[in-house]
Structure 1
Amino acid sequence: MEESLIYSEKGYRFWFRVRPVFKKLLRVEVSGTENIPEKGGCIIASNHRSNLDPFVLNVISPRPILFMAKEELFKIPVLSWLIKKAGAFPVKRNGRDIKAMKKALTLLKEGYCIGIFPEGGRAKPKEFKNPQSGVGLLVSKTEAPVIPVRIEGTDDVYPVGSKFPKVGKSIITVRIGSPIEIDRTADYREISKEIMERIKKL
């Protein structure tokens, strides 16, 4: 199926030209980009410790990643405009968000790359949170490959409470694993745990 455009094509063309500057500025080191499929629907599942994480993932990804973002961000005027142009869509963090789930499944069928944070929110520095069950529910309803990603260092560069990133303070490492083999008939809570464990092991 041909993809329906839901983000700024000109914006992403410009972004892909300038992002090497941000990669160097933020001292991002990445391995495993070959594990992200060049085309077709896929899910990027990453740990989450900083608001910088979605930005960094789109710095290193060979294709645009459309993120589920907490609905509160869409109430901030300038930021809301920017993330909409990047293709982000809102999700409610408390309980199951059926609308966001349907949106994600539609985008996956149309061939987009969706970014999710199984923990549902930022973890404390150097730690991991338990995954949300909704992630497993989403994965159980699609055959799209799930690519585990582990990010380290963003919580040093842009910790919770900071107004601006502390550029150059720490190297940011991104490790991208091979697609996870998942039994999609399993309980969705177990699927969530399995995905989180694969992220931790990277």
Structure 2
Amino acid sequence: MGQACPHSFFARAFLKPFCPITKKLFRKIFKIEVYGLDKVPRGSCIVASNHRSHLDPPVLNSVFDEPLRFLAKEELFRVPFLGPLLPHMGAVPVKRGSGDVEVLEISLELLRKGCKVCIFPEGTRANPGEFLKPKLGVGLLAVKSRKPVLPVYIHGTDMVLPRGKSFPSLGHPIKVVIGEPVVYHHEEESPRVYRQVAQDIMERIKCLSSSL
């Protein structure tokens, strides 16, 4: 049995009891369909997903049984009402201008503690229907951690909550496709290897889009 990802007392006592109800309600409101849940590994892993909308993190959290850990900008933790809740919802603050090394160390520590860490390889939101070139970081994290990488493709969030909109337009279905996990065992650790792994992860995400 692997180590369980730690959560705050508030999250365990007050948020967790309502999670099954709120997740089910969220999926119903946003018409979320999920494919491949049986492929999610037990214990810690890297959830690597495409990114086209601010709606992507809550959509992913609504389909996974365990809360995912996201790295979020420190400024979000100062937003009234939302900010104080973010740590209990699995978000980890990252200071503006933090280097790749600091972010990597935070992510590796979460994985060692048994958490499922979600990362968007593209680094920012892509335009509707498009994919961006992956950043080197996801490859570096996959190689150094040697944890399973779970490719995920999200379809439809860019139509429900596109860039520039503050409120979602309900009605368009959202689909989440989960692929086979893969572990990257590379003896050599270099920027070249990290780029190759990052590109392989991105290609796996793209392939999932063709299954719809």
TM-score using structure 1 length: 0.90
**1:22 aligns to 2:29 (yes or no):** no
Contact 2:4 2:43 (C-alpha < 8 Å) held by counterparts: no
Aligned residues: 200
Give, in angstroms, the shift of residue 191 of structure 1. 1.0
Q: Which piece of structure 1 moves more, 7-16 or 50-59? A: 7-16
Q: Equivalent residues in 2 for 1:1-202 (5 A)?
A: 1=3, 3-6=5-8, 8-9=11-12, 10-37=14-41, 39-91=42-94, 96-168=99-171, 170-185=172-187, 187-202=193-208
Q: Secondary structure at the match of 1:90?
A: strand
Distance 1:44 1:77, change over 3 A: same
- The one-letter code of the counterpart of 2:173 is I
Give, in angstroms, the shift of residue 151 of structure 1. 0.2
Q: Percent identity?
A: 44
- The one-letter code of the counterpart of 2:200 is E
Structure 1 unaligned regions, length at least 5:
none
- The one-letter code of the counterpart of 1:109 is R
Q: Secondary structure at the match of 1:139?
A: helix
Q: Which piece of structure 1 moves more, 92-101 or 136-145? A: 92-101
Distance 1:93 1:188, change over 3 A: farther
Give, in angstroms, the shift of residue 3 of structure 1. 4.0
Give, in angstroms, the shift of residue 2 of structure 1. 5.1
Contact 2:46 2:149 (C-alpha < 8 Å) held by counterparts: yes
Distance 1:139 1:189 in 2: 11
- The one-letter code of the counterpart of 1:68 is L
Contact 2:146 2:183 (C-alpha < 8 Å) held by counterparts: no
Q: Secondary structure at the match of 2:84?
A: helix
Contact 1:96 1:134 (C-alpha < 8 Å) held by counterparts: no
| Moved beyond 4 Å, runs of 4+ | 92-95
* Residue deviations 1:75-110 (CA, integer Å, cap 9, x gap): 433332232221111346767432221121111111
Distance 1:106 1:134, change over 3 A: same
- The one-letter code of the counterpart of 2:66 is R
TM-score using structure 2 length: 0.86
Contact 2:70 2:90 (C-alpha < 8 Å) held by counterparts: yes
Q: Secondary structure at the match of 1:59?
A: helix
Distance 1:185 1:69, change over 3 A: farther
- The one-letter code of the counterpart of 1:137 is L
Contact 2:36 2:177 (C-alpha < 8 Å) held by counterparts: yes
